[in-house]
Amino acid sequence: MDSVRRTSEGPGRALVMTYGILALAACARGGYEVVVKFDKAPLAYSLSLFAGVVYAVATFALATNRRWLAWPTVLTEMAGVLVVGTLSFVAPDLFRLSSVWSWFGVEYLLVPLVLPFLGLAWLWRSGRAPDEASVPVDPAGGTDRPIG
């Protein structure tokens, strides 16, 4: 595995942090909704909790360099936010009360919409063997410098 970068390092460091925060936010929200007021909107609240679990698995997979788990998880996340986001516009009756992925995650500043694309881009990019063209991640070229 020397030829590819670990998914937790470099840009992946920030990606894992973002996934972790979303996991925390969605699990706390979904868990609270399901426990306290599940009957009001079973579909939306179950989806929030499901989103939280997906984010938690993605966080774990990316943080521990488990690509085989990260790929399907991030793809699930992408499908989820796109399908639920679209449905919330096309069939708003389904989601009178919102879930994490409703309206493409606008309550979370659209981060849920952007994140799977960044995740896939990072999985793809970090998984390639480095060559001269792809290694410099940052124009200043100082990414791997030790603390100064």
Partner 1 sequence: MSTPLVWVGVVLSLALAVWAGWYVLRNKPVVLRQLLGGAVVEVYLLIQLVVVLVHPAGGGAPSGLFWIYVGTQLFILPLAATWAFAERTRWSSVVLLIAALVVAFLQLRLLQVWGS
C-alpha span between 22 and 55 (Å, rounded): 7
| Min separation Cβ 147 and partner 1, Å | 5
Nearest residue (CB) to partner 1, 79 versus 121: 121
131, 35 in Cβ contact below 8 A? Answer: no
Nearest residue (CB) to partner 1, 11 versus 127: 11
| Min separation Cβ 68 and partner 1, Å | 23
Nearest residue (CB) to partner 1, 28 versus 135: 28
Which residues lie near partner 1 (CB under 8 A)?
9-14, 16-18, 20-21, 24-25, 28-29, 32, 36, 138, 140, 142-148
Nearest residue (CB) to partner 1, 31 versus 90: 31
| Min separation Cβ 71 and partner 1, Å | 22
| Min separation Cβ 81 and partner 1, Å | 19
